[in-house]
Amino acid sequence: MLSVINHKDKVYQDKNFEAYVKVLSIEKNFYAIYTGYEDGSFYELINLNIDKKLKEVYKARELDRWVLIKIDGNNINKKEITLYDEDLNRTAKRVEENSYNPTKRPWYEMAISSGNRAIKTAPYKFSHIDSFGITFSKELSGSKNVVSVDFLIEDFKNIFKDNINQETMDMFLFKKDGTIISSITKDDDLLASFFEKNKDLEKFENANIVNVKDKKYIVQIEKLNNSENDDYIILFADYKKIIAPYFSQTFNLILSLFIVCLMMIPLIIYFSKIIVAPIFKLVQESKKIKDRKYDSISKVDSSILEVSILSNAFLDMSKSIYEYQQSLEEKVEQRTKELNIKNEELFKLSITDKLTGLYNRVKLDSVLQENMSLSLRYGNIFSVIIIDIDFFKKINDNFGHQVGDDVLKECSYILSKNIRNVDTLGRWGGEEFLVVCPETLKNGAKDLAIKLNKAIKLHKFSTYPHSVTISVGVASCSVKDLNYDDIISNADKALYEAKNNGRDRVEVF
């Protein structure tokens, strides 16, 4: 996901800041997100709350939450460190000497040589905190720039030390070659001694009893699925210490059972005559509760007061369960409806531009990919229209951003009212809009573009006193186009031609 939303060009790196903050806020085990650039530039955001030691390392205050590290490839001997609080207010900024070159780091080299595939490193210990982690990296679309995430693995000892008996058990986190990553043990040589006679790890997927260093152990190995199929956990349980308590408990239990049986024989004979029959009847009635046959439950008559009380309790309980079940089903149904409504609202927010109410870049990418797939599979023709508001910067500079926002919203409304039902309109970015026209040839898209151009030009804006014009670029897919980026590029070229030819016009690629 980061490789999609990340701006791959260095000049736009500051636009990644809020996206990095959101990801680190949501994913509590993410330590840092950063991008290394081909020229040696570097852009990293670190979550200071991941470890108290980080605030000492970066000279942060108690209220500081984020640290942003920037290295400019044109001045690689310096690095800029900026601190931010929880509300993203800058609290400090300084420049320090730098010896770090991202292009020489393993994560950068592995990502560049991976063929544009995401890679992850083996677990390693972080330099600034006492924890292990993994780095995930991916090259940004052939740009020789790499985005990475440091993923924090919770400390092995903290996870397991409270869940095993350290007097009787030893545990190791290790690689397939026997390298120990972490351990909870009193005998550091135990794992090496085990490997001397046991090479087949799959044999120990289920617990086995083995002799290691003249001592009997119960051993089980579990492969970790979150690694490169190379990491394992092994548990050694001291056989004698584990089994010893059970021998004593078993003897005491057998003796107790024998005494109880001797005492119960006369009582069993007596109560079997008086209680067994009504209790058996109660059992039958209780099964009706289990089977939800509440309307067929009847009272059990007995000369024993306790049995009668129990029977009445069964009747009351069955009635309460039935009423509660009905109430619960109604609540579940209501909550399900409310949840579905909220899910629909969240989905709409995820694909909608907040200012204009149009589809955002995420939705437009999805629609473009869908149309491109249909084109490649069935030969369907579709067109795209890129629209740019002429001299929009002057509107913002001369009349303020509020008027600029009003112009964007009213343009969005006009465009949405003049496209066809089958077309998809969205905000492509800034003052640019994109229309995807399925099953539409180039001439049809051009006619629609001219219509949109006229509609904007004739509109009287509520807060902007002048008329607004737009430049429009049109392009259609062809047999040479293998992805929608090619079509967007062609439409961009047509848009630039419209601007170069005087603006307020439609050009077709």
Torsion angle (degrees, nearest 10) of CA 277, 278, 284, 289: -160
Closest CA relative to residue 470, chosen from 492, 450, 493: 450
DSSP 288-309: HHHTT-GGG--PPP-SSHHHHH
User: Is there a contact between 279 and 307 (Cβ–Cβ < 8 Å)?
Assistant: yes
Q: Return the amino acid letter for 280.
A: F
N-term to C-term CA, the chain: 31
Closest CA relative to residue 403, chosen from 464, 468, 470, 466: 464
Tokens 């293998």 label which residue?
482
- The 10 Å Cβ neighbour count of residue 250 is 10
CA distances from 337 to 21, 247, 325, 343, 346 (A): 33, 56, 18, 10, 14
User: Is there a contact between 434 and 425 (Cβ–Cβ < 8 Å)?
Assistant: yes
Tokens linked to 495: 């848009």
Q: Return the amino acid letter for 130.
A: D
| Residue 97 annotated as catalytic | no
User: Is there a contact between 495 and 501 (Cβ–Cβ < 8 Å)?
Assistant: no
Tokens linked to 223: 């492969």
Which helix or strand (DSSP H or E) is residue 341 part of? helix 305-350
Tokens linked to 235: 């548990």
Phi and psi based region of residue 42 (left: phi greater than 0; alpha: psi -120 to 50; beta: remaining): beta
CA angle 490, 493, 499 (to 5 degrees): 145
- Measure the CA–CA gap between 186 and 124, rounded to whole angstroms: 23
- The 10 Å Cβ neighbour count of residue 349 is 10
Three-state SS for 364? Answer: helix
Phi and psi based region of residue 279 (left: phi greater than 0; alpha: psi -120 to 50; beta: remaining): alpha
Closest CA relative to residue 13, chosen from 39, 40, 38, 44: 44
Tokens 């609080």 label which residue?
85
Q: Which of 431, 432, 439, 507 is catalytic?
A: 431
What are the residue numbers of the active site? 431
